[in-house]
Structures are given as structure tokens and as C-alpha cells.
Amino acid sequence: MSFFSFFRDSLKDKSSPPPNTELSDIVQSLLSKEETSTDKSSIFDFEDRYWNTLEKFSDSVCNTLPEAYFTADQQVAAYKKAIEKYDKIKEFCESKGGGGALYYQENFVIDKENLINEYNDFMNEEYKKMKEQEQEDVEYIRYCKTIEKQILKLIASDGSYLQKKIYSLFSADDKSLVIRTIDTLVKEGKLSKQKQGNTNLLKIIK
């Protein structure tokens, strides 16, 4: 039995006479340093042995994080998946013993907590706004499709139609949308546009 082990046991044994306080403090400090050194050694051994696996785990988390172009629900799914990956990392590290458990505490715990806080902030501050904006976008796209169908129906009914006359059939607020829709239909090859006076003659391309 080492001197440190003997002294540690004597501190726990209430039947033993109380040790010198100053000596006790010194030994406790040395014991703490000894344990810290052992902890660091076990962490380094774990990291050295499983470095490739740990690197793959970290890359996997990064590749799962939400992207700016994700929808609100896609962002929620990405956050949850990333948090689950931290749980898998923890399970792996702890399955490899004390060194692995300590490595997880030093390298992943704070990152996971930050991610959970980020997720909670997103849910409290951004999720509802994004859902509302997405709904507005869906309704706008639906409205654009309605305008497109109306324009094509007008032109198809006569075989051709003056662009200026089409404008007069829609509200002033929709004029810019009508212009963009006609330009898009021409680019897509659904309409032809021929100059006629101060406007254009539109025809459907079959």
C-alpha cells in the first residue's frame, strides 16, 4: 500500500487519531494532483485510441445541423437529430470506461448544452414566424398560379390577345405580377410575343 493510499484510508477511519492539519492539507493536495494526472492520462489514452471514431462523430453532428434554407419543420428535425447524435457519442464514450466518460465531459457536454439552448431559442423566437411566412409564401404561389391560368384562358379563348388589354382585366395592384407571369410564360415557351403598335400580341404556343 502506498503512503498516499494509507493516508487516504486513515482520513476515512474515524477510530484513528486526527492527523496533523497542515500535513493533511498537503497530502490532500498531492492526492488531488495525483488523481488529476491519472484523469488526464486516461483521457489522452482514450483520445489516442479512438481519434478516428471521435472525428467521424464530430463531422456527423456538423453535417446534421440546420441550414439557413431549411423550412421551419426541417430545422426542428435537424436540431433533434443533432442532439440525438450527442447522446450516441455519450453512449460510445462511456462504454469505453472512465477515460471515455471524462473525455465526453470535457469535449462534448458544453457543445450539447449550447445546441439545446439554440434549439429552444429557435422554438421560442423563430419557429412561429417562419411557419407564418411559409404559409404566406404558399398562398402567394397559389395566387400566382391562378393569375397564370386566367391569362392562358383569356388568350386561348380568342387565339391571341393584346398584352395591354390583358392588363385592363386585372387590378392595378396585380399589374406587376401579370407582367412577370407573361414574361415567364414566354421564357418557358408557352406563349409567343409579337410587337404590335405600342403593345404586344400574345399567342399560345401549341
Q: Is the pLDDT of residue 201 over 60?
A: yes
- End-to-end Cα separation, the chain, in angstroms: 96
Q: Is the pLDDT of residue 3 over 70?
A: no
**18: enclosing H helix or E strand:** none
Q: Is the pLDDT of residue 29 over 90?
A: no
- Residue-wise pLDDT tens digits, 31-65: 454 455 567 888 899 999 999 999 999 999 999 99
Q: What is the pLDDT of residue 41?
A: 86
| Between 121 and 33, residue with greater pLDDT | 121
Q: What is the pLDDT of residue 81?
A: 96
Query: Partners of 54 in the beta sheet?
Result: none
| Between 10 and 178, residue with greater pLDDT | 178
At 206, is the pLDDT very low, low, confident or very high (cuts 50, 70, 90)?
A: confident
Question: Phi/psi of residue 17, each to 5°?
Answer: -65, 145
Q: What is the pLDDT of residue 22?
A: 54
Q: Is the pLDDT of residue 19 over 90?
A: no
pLDDT, average across residues 125-140: 95
